[in-house]
Chains A and B, each alone.
Chain A
Amino acid sequence: MPRLTTINLIFLTMLLMVSAVTCLGQSTTGTVSMSATVSKFVEINSGGSVTLTGNSGGGVTTDGVANSPLAVSINLGELGPSNTNSFVSASVPLKLRSNAAYVLSMSATVTSSGASSSRIGAADVGFGLGTVSRTGLGVNAGADTNATSGDPTLAANGSINGTTGRYEFTAVRSNLGAFSSSTTALSGPIIMNAVPRSNANGLTVPAMFAVKPQFFENGTTTISVTFTVTAP
């Protein structure tokens, strides 16, 4: 075979192969692959207005607004014997939402200007979480575990110390002394079903604080409480 013919045949073969490859580039199928990520999500907001009872003076300085960030400020008023009510109580509604099991923790600091043991301390501030409510469209039914003893003003949760005469909140996690560091107050399973964030429902629970007016050392007291919700 002449050399020129051979070269031409090689070129022609290459051309045909390229043509075949070009044609094979067409396709009757196409692929769309997709993925999405759902991370654990938890949030705590105000569940509504604060209720303050038994106070003498004082008031709610910054009230809670439902579904807004929780930033409440309360002046409990007079806590000495001049307040003749049995308790000064504040109920702060909380709203929790999550797409996973959650843990609500709390830490508290109590600072008084007094110097003696009769000043108001963390143990003098009763605390408990009230009835947990999971209601509304999109809220998942589930059993929550309340690690506190509930309403601190309940007779079962406190009494007068027979030795000192001082009123004490004695039940489990019934005063802020139990929350000097971050401590679990409530936990439970997933709160929300698959609904948009615009759905305003959630788990609501009142955080209840109480102080028994007594012959505390005079002065001022500041109580600071921080709630944290996590999805472990």
Chain B
Amino acid sequence: MRLRHVTYSLLITLLFLAFAQTTFAQALDISSGGLPTITGAVGGSVTGSASVTNDLVVTINFGEVSPLNTNSIVKVVVPIALRSNQPYQVAVSMSGLNNANAQAVQASDVGFGLQNMQLLGGAGQICNQSTHLIRSPFNNDPAITATVGSNGRVSYQSSLGNLSGSTVIMSGPVLSKNNSIKRQQSDGYTFDAIFTLTPQFFASGISSATLIFTISAGPNVPC
């Protein structure tokens, strides 16, 4: 009799947990939006999942970015999927890239922009009263906006240098029509996070950084 009570209590607890997860898990979600790609690299690579149901875990190796790389630019496109049943915002925070030598690779040397916000299949929510807003200055392809500055160094409309703490890069209305208990192939939106690095006479060394993309409840805009 006592065992039965314990068992039922456990079952009720698990049912509650499952219900809670079912109710809230889909509210805000970020995942891989497809296979990332890299061009212009010498000895570089990018790894990530091609499946939109997998977590966003991407590793970029820009490879050689001294003048030994004679390509004009190294460009990496990372598709990212978003799902939500409420208005959302996406923020990015960065760690690393704190080279003391001003001639070494700095955060401002890595172009960073967002492009190609688009539906991820038929269950993505189309809203007519609000748009998905890419915050300034990130709405660009840094491979296109790259220019040589007055000091001779390449600069971009937006770069990792524009990140300060947790920086909101985009926001918008509800993304998903349904309220599925798990990620689906077609229930949200995808966009491309584009990273660029122009080979230059940087001071020698290895540089690294880690970006954390976070989706959270955003400004309460109507759909």
- Chain A contact residues, CB within 8 Å of chain B: 1, 9, 12-13, 16-17, 19-20, 22-41, 43, 97-100, 137-138, 140, 190-199, 201
Contact = CB atoms under 8 A, between A and B. Distances in A.
Interface string B168-190: 00000000000001110000000
B107 to A, nearest CB: 11
Given A193-B151, A197-B199, A36 B105 contact: yes
B196 to A, nearest CB: 11
Interface of B: 3-4, 7, 10-11, 14-15, 17-18, 21-22, 25-26, 28-32, 43-44, 55-68, 70, 72, 76, 78, 80, 102-105, 109-110, 148, 151-154, 181-183, 193, 195, 197-216
Contacts of A97: 67, 201
A190 to B, nearest CB: 7
A29 B213 CA distance: 5
A27 B213 CA distance: 10
Contacts of A25: 55, 182-183
Contacts of B68: 39, 41
Nearest to A1: B4
B211 A34 contact: yes
A190 B201 CA distance: 10
Contact of B22 (A9, A23, A190, A191): A23
Contact of A33 (B65, B104, B193, B208): B208
Q: Closest 5 A-B residue pairs measured CB to CB?
A: A30-B56, A138-B152, A23-B21, A192-B201, A36-B62
Contacts of A43: 67
Contacts, number: 214
B12 to A, nearest CB: 11
Given A34-B211, A35-B60, A39-B204, 13 more contacts: A17-B14, A25-B183, A30-B58, A30-B80, A32-B195, A36-B61, A36-B63, A37-B43, A37-B66, A38-B65, A38-B66, A193-B151, A195-B200
Nearest to B93: A29
Given A9-B11, A20-B14, A97-B201, A38 B22 contact: no
By CB atoms of chain B within 10 A, which of A31, A35, A98 has the most? A35
Contact of B206 (A17, A23, A35, A98): A35
A25 B193 CA distance: 22
Given A20-B18, A29-B30, A34 B11 contact: no
Nearest to A30: B56
A51 B30 CA distance: 66
Contacts of A26: 25-26, 29, 31, 182-183
Contact of A29 (B22, B148, B214): B214
Contacts of A12: 11
B67 A30 contact: no
Contacts of B31: 26-27, 30
Which of B18, B70, B195 has the largest count of A CB atoms less than 10 A from its CB? B18
B201 A195 contact: yes
A98 B211 CA distance: 31
A34 B70 contact: no
Contact of A19 (B21, B70, B109, B215): B21
A167 B43 CA distance: 55
B30 A38 contact: no
7 contacts: A23-B181, A26-B183, A194-B105, A196-B201, A197-B70, A199-B201, A201-B152
B210 A33 contact: yes
A24 B183 CA distance: 11
A30 B213 contact: yes
